[in-house]
Amino acid sequence: MSARHAFAHRVSGNGTAAAVLRQRFVGTLSAGTGTGTDTDVSAGTGSKLEGAVEADPFPKIDLRIGIIETVSRHPAADSLFVLSVDVGEKSDAGAAPRTIVSGLVGYYSEEQLQGKKIVVLANMKARKLRGVLSQGMLLAAANTKADATQVEVLEAGAAAQPGDIVGLLGGDDEAVALAKAKAVVKRQHVIEAFLEGLSLDNHVAKYRGRELVVSGGAVTTQSLLSGMVG
pLDDT in tens, 119-138: 999 888 888 999 999 998 99
Per-residue pLDDT band for 145 (boundaries 50, 70, 90) equals low
Per-residue pLDDT band for 181 (boundaries 50, 70, 90) equals low
Q: What Cα–Cα distance (Å) separates residue 187 from each residue in 9, 53, 87, 190, 201? A: 21, 12, 23, 6, 28
In order of start, what are the domains of the chain with their CATH numbers?
A: 3-229 (2.40.50.140)
Phi, psi (degrees; rounded to nearest 5) at 184:
-65, 130
Whole-angstrom Cα distance, residue 47 to residue 1?
37
Using only C-alpha atoms, the chain has a radius of gyration, in whole angstroms, of 16
Evaluate the CA torsion angle 29, 52, 139, 79 in order and state its sign: positive
Per-residue pLDDT band for 177 (boundaries 50, 70, 90) equals low
Confidence at residue 9, expressed as pLDDT on a 0 to 100 scale = 43
